[in-house]
Amino acid sequence: MSQHDQPDESTPLLVDDDASSDGFQDADYKSRWRSIRVMYFTMFLSSVGFTIVITSLWPYLQQIDRAADASFLGWVVAAYSLGQMVASPVFGLWSNHRPRREPLACSLLINVAANVYYAYGYLPPSENRFHMLAARTLVGFGAGNVAVVRSYVAGATSLKERTNAMANMSACQALGFILGPALQAVLSFMGESGVTLEVIGLRLNMYTAPALLAAAFGVVNILLVTLVLREHFVDEEGRQLCAVNYISDDQAEVQEAEVAIDQVAVLTSNLLFFLIMFIFAVFETIATPLSMDMFAWTRKEAVLYNGIILSGIGLESIAVFLLVKVVSQRIGDRPVLLGGLMVVFCGFFILLPWGNHYPLIQWDDIQNNSVVNRTLWVGGSNGTVDPRGCPAVQTWCQYTPAINLGQYLVADSLIGAGYAACNVMSYTLYSKILGPKPQGAYMGWLTASGSGARTLGPVFVSYFYTSLGPRWAFSAICGAVLVGIVLLASLYRRLVAFSVRRERAKNT
């Protein structure tokens, strides 16, 4: 296949990549891009499956188990990423040696079953919070297929196509990021009571319906992977190497003899990706409790409004992906990554509390001498009124200025834009650093590093925020972002594509 047959980085976002400059397509080329679009869709549904419940985790947890507190919420959010961290290297290594349809179908089946389990989290007679924890762990384990998706797209695209394809995949992820909270916001009108299907013992309400919808999406995804996906692997020029995702041992030895992968660059990329996912995990975990504490929103209001805000951030992310594709082509991947980190720093810096306006306090927590009282409100279903404001048991509420809504929205927009740029550039650059060899295992470790960040981030912010408040929590995040900026700047010259290193080696 000739070079001019390949779409370049100027290809519009999510266009039909089957259209070549001379109007002629062979079967392999059509099949390759059809399969890549299945991977786009898989990433889209993975994102929907995660975000469709993220804003309702906290109120659902409170409803099904009164013993759950904000600290346990951190573990529930982290459970998804813990499961993904364990599964990603396994699925990635599996995809290096077997058809990728196998790990993809297996992971999707696990995901479907786990979402159904989550929807029935209220059913056990006791300790329901641990059932939710187990369900979210299994959902995350199924999401380990992200490593397979990324390695497939990296292996099925030329170096010239890579940034465009990765940006398209990120755009699909962002679309899922939009649709998930939007669907949750729409389903919130079902209320906490909803309807009960006695035949199957199911309460269909604003908390269970999103998980069941995610399970239905998973079934659709399984059909696409089974019926449409085909194996393709191309070299850096876009020439078809074989119909599978692996190369022979002889070919691998020749590549290693030419120039080895820069393991320092690989490690640095993993550390940067860890940081990027850590700071966004902190942001998405704290959004609902922070808004309820600062703006005195009820649970239903917090789910609805944060769903709308996160959908807006998703729309913003698509615009960022469009911009990134153009800017990275002109100035390169590394400057865009550095700029994204700086924007994220500004976002968290703006979130630091200041002024002389303080949040509304839930003094009843102190008057009744019970921390559990905060978890008893269930939307009025037992005749109580939803408490509003910052619980007095969080002592920092009494002396920490409130974050105003405008401050919150501006910070959200900056964090969302910076994260979008960092996300697509980090694994685009990583795939280029790895070069033409099969990337399943390496992508598994990258996804695992991100999942590790998503595991630690929620736990960190839940304890840090509950104990010390937003001022200390967001100051710590600002410090972490500065460390990332310094790391990227210090190893800037080593974070280059495999082909660039090969050329440097030839010239020395």
Tens digit of each residue's pLDDT (9 = 90 or more) over 79-136: 887 888 888 888 888 887 888 889 999 999 999 999 999 999 888 888 888 999 999 9
Q: How does DSSP classify residue 494?
A: G
Cα separation of 317 and 420, whole Å?
6
Residue 9 has pLDDT above 80, yes or no: no
Q: CB of 56 within 8 A of CB of 132?
A: no
pLDDT band with cut points at 50, 70 and 90 for residue 414 = very high
For the segment 17-27, the average pLDDT, to the nearest whole number, is 48
390-391/361-362 β-pairing: parallel
Q: Is the pLDDT of residue 222 over 90?
A: yes
DSSP secondary structure, 312-381, as one string: HHHHHHHHHHHHHHHHHHHH-HHHHHHHHHHHHHHHHHHTS--SS----EETHHHHTT-SGGGG---TTT
Q: What is the mean pLDDT of residues 233-245?
A: 63
Reference 449, options 430, 469, 476, 467; nearest CA is 430
How far apart are the C-alpha atoms of 422 and 341, rounded to whole Å? Answer: 7
Decide if 78 contacts 457 (C-beta within 8 A): yes
Q: What is the pLDDT averaged over residues 459-478?
A: 85
Tell me the per-residue pLDDT of 293-346, one tens digit each, with 9 for 90 and over. Answer: 888 888 778 878 887 887 788 788 888 888 887 888 888 889 999 999 999 999
- Whether 9 is covered by a domain: the verdict is no
* Residue 39 falls inside a structural domain: yes
Res. 481: pLDDT tops 90: yes
Asked if residue 177 is part of any domain, the answer here is yes
H/E run at residue 165: helix 159-187
3-state DSSP assignment of residue 233 = strand
Tokens 């990603």 sit on residue: 88
CA pair distance 93, 91, nearest whole angstrom: 6
Residue 373's pLDDT band (boundaries 50, 70, 90)? Answer: very low
Among 13-17, 48-52, 230-234, whose mean pLDDT is lowest?
A: 13-17
Is residue 383's pLDDT more than 80? no
Alpha helices by DSSP H, 98-127? 101-119
Residue 74 located in a structural domain: yes
Q: Is the pLDDT confidence value at 498 over 80?
A: no
Across the range 137-166, mean pLDDT stands at 83
Tell me phi and psi for residue 335, to 5 degrees.
-60, -35
Per-residue tokens: 229 = 């996906």
In a domain, 11, yes or no: no
Instruction: Enter the pTM of the model.
Output: 0.66
Tell me the two tokens of residue 391.
């619980």
What is the mean predicted confidence (pLDDT) over 454-458?
77
Q: Is residue 101 part of a domain?
A: yes
List the one residue out of 75, 174, 144 whose CA is nearest residue 447: 144
User: Where is pLDDT greater, at 172 or 238?
Assistant: 172
Domain count, the chain: 1
Helix (H) or strand (E) holding 293: helix 263-295
Interatomic CA distance for residues 459 and 29, integer angstroms: 45
Phi-psi group of 379: left, alpha or beta (phi > 0 → left; psi -120 to 50 → alpha; rest → beta): left
Beta-carbon contacts of 331 under 8 Å, excluding residues fewer than 6 positions away, are: none
- By residue count, the chain amounts to 508
pLDDT(24) > 70: no
Helices and strands (DSSP H and E) totals, the chain: 17, 6
CB 318 within 8 A of CB 168: no
Residue 5 domain flag: no
Q: Is the pLDDT of residue 276 over 70?
A: yes
Mean pLDDT value across the chain: 78
For residue 373, give the CATH number of its domain.
1.20.1250.20
Angstrom distance (rounded) from CA 466 to CA 468: 6
Q: Which of 113-117, 231-235, 274-278 has the highest mean pLDDT?
A: 113-117
Range of the domain at 88: 25-506
Please report, for residues 30, 251, 301, 351, 504, the alpha-carbon distance to residue 406 in angstroms, rounded to integers and kept in the order given.
Answer: 48, 57, 17, 10, 50
pLDDT of residue 104: 92
Is 339 domain-assigned?
A: yes
